[in-house]
Amino acid sequence: MNLRVAGLAVLMLTTLPAMAPAAATETGARVALVIGNAKYPDSETPLTEPVNDARDVADELKHDGFDVETGENLTGEDMRLALKRLYSRIRPGSVVLIFFSGYGIQSGRQSYLIPVNAQIWTEADVRRDGFSLETILGEINNRGAGVKIALVDASRRNPFERRFRSFSAGLAPVIAPSGTLVMYSAALSSVVSDASTGHSLFVNELLKEIRVPDLTAEETLNRTRVGVTRASRAEQVPWISSSLAEDFYFIPGQHGTPGIAAAPPSLPPRPETASPPGAAPPVAPPPAIPAPVASGPPTPAAVASEPPAPEPSPGPATTSPASATPRPQDHGKSALALADDPTIKSLTSRIAARSDDANAFYRRGQVYASKGAYALAIKDFDATIRLNPKDVEAYNNRCWTRTVIGDLRSARRDCDEALRLRPDFVDALDSRGLLNLKRGANKDAIADFDAALRINPRLTSSLYGRGLARQRSGAVAEGNLDIANAKAMDPDIVKEFAGYGVR
């Protein structure tokens, strides 16, 4: 069960086939679909950035030789038809680019683009009304595009998540076809606030770099990543994954040769935003050189060149409670360090104005937990449950947080209550599986993870946790298979858990 804050998301996708620069400039060789969705009825206020960003990206792509179709505030049917028209324009070797700005939701370890008329109340509604990024990239690949590049600016908080899933903010890693370059505007499963300036920081930096000639697409995106990291003072670090085998240039130079462009050095995080106790140290942005790509199944075609900063996610842990528990003297420091977080500031203001706002307490608890401030998170979940004793997600979140810090007895009561209120709650099954794994009850852990996987076979944390439990029970071969499959679905699952001492 991934503990995440509810997220607005803006998704940008770009797909470009690998070919020589000359071939990429042929008439019809570059096609693009640019969508900006801002007016969602479920949002308290319309998004300020998607339409403006979409228009600017469309203008730049036209300048770069793309045949662009632009859509604003598209419904599900509008998006379906727009994608159908895009697919029909693809020819073998085409450069295909999709830009989507709006809300995006992670569900079942996949990322979904959300149309403006989506009716989302359960996780099943996401799959019904949303458009899977993996499915889109797969269809583009099937139509013959040589290189697929997905640029995803999808890490804003959305108004839907609280309804159906506790910990799925941000975006999931993409299992994409070979010849794909994927970029997210922030680390996996992390969120950033809407800038309210009319344009996103990510798109501003992207457009700067796209206009530089003689840069490969990978160089362009790496420079964008560094620019966003510098401009946000390391609070927003984009994530890149690449399986490109050939170079593609947005703007080839006069001689059609790649230029050597040195990226500015990475900035360390500011001292006041350092990771809280119990979390892994901050990960510095990687060099502007894409990581090598592993070949052959079952590993995904794309390998991340920038691992996401660890965030709470349920999974097996071998850490002792003492080593997992944040030191009490650091809790005040964590509150002070997080006080300037825009989401926490907003939620704190809401709570000050209305002390009975259970949803604000719940969401702030999610943010605290996602940043490793576990004592603060538990305090907010306590307030949520006091205001609403039947809030199953709050019980589940508090169970998971208590499990992380080693308070297993209290965590068990919370998990059991969450499952009493909702017997098939997959997140609570996953949380209790983690709890049982930490207390050495491997048989019970396997039973909980089995139950969770029957409901959601793609729940990587349960698959990885079951693998560890099986290994410890003596079923080494079965455990190894579970772990291998979990790592194939999410190449960063081990790194994510390592931040919590999970080995």
> What is the arithmetic mean of pLDDT over 395-412?
92
- Read off the pLDDT band of 287 (50, 70, 90): very low
Q: For residue 166, what pLDDT is reported? A: 46
User: Are 258 and 171 within one domain?
Assistant: yes
Residue 262, pLDDT > 50, answer: no
Answer yes or no: is 54 within a domain.
Answer: yes
- Determine contact, residues 176/377, Cβ cutoff 8 Å: no
Calculated CA dihedral for residues 403, 404, 405, 409, nearest 10 degrees: 10
Q: For residue 177, what pLDDT is reported? A: 81
Answer yes or no: is 255 within a domain.
Answer: yes
- What's 160's domain CATH number? 3.40.50.1460
Q: Which domain holds residue 461?
A: 321-498
How many residues make up the chain in this entry? 503
User: Are 388 and 451 within one domain?
Assistant: yes
- What's 339's domain CATH number? 1.25.40.10
How far is the C-alpha of 464 from the C-alpha of 449, rounded, in Å?
9
User: Are 331 and 412 within one domain?
Assistant: yes
Closest CA to 47 of 236, 202, 194, 152: 194
Residue 320, pLDDT > 80, answer: no
Answer yes or no: is 4 within a domain.
Answer: no
User: Are 155 and 295 within one domain?
Assistant: yes
Answer yes or no: is 163 within a domain.
Answer: yes
Q: For residue 168, what pLDDT is reported? A: 56
CA-to-CA dists, residue 194 to 46, 135, 205, 222, angstroms? 11, 27, 16, 22
User: Are 91 and 56 within one domain?
Assistant: yes
User: Are 288 and 389 within one domain?
Assistant: no
User: Are 297 and 415 within one domain?
Assistant: no
Mean pLDDT for the chain overall: 75
- Read off the pLDDT band of 500 (50, 70, 90): low
Beta strands in 154-228 (DSSP E): 180-184
Closest CA to 207 of 83, 90, 62, 96: 62
> What is the arithmetic mean of pLDDT over 65-87?
94
Residue 315, pLDDT > 60, answer: no
User: Are 275 and 356 within one domain?
Assistant: no
User: Are 227 and 291 within one domain?
Assistant: yes
- Does residue 216 sit in helix, strand or coil? strand
pLDDT in tens, 294-303: 323 333 333 3
User: Are 240 and 359 within one domain?
Assistant: no
Among candidate residues 304, 336, 363, the one where a domain is terminated: 304
Beta strands in 10-168 (DSSP E): 30-36, 67-72, 95-101, 103-107, 110-114, 131-132, 148-152
User: Are 186 and 145 within one domain?
Assistant: yes
- Count the domains in the chain: 2
Q: For residue 310, what pLDDT is reported? A: 37
User: Are 215 and 296 within one domain?
Assistant: yes
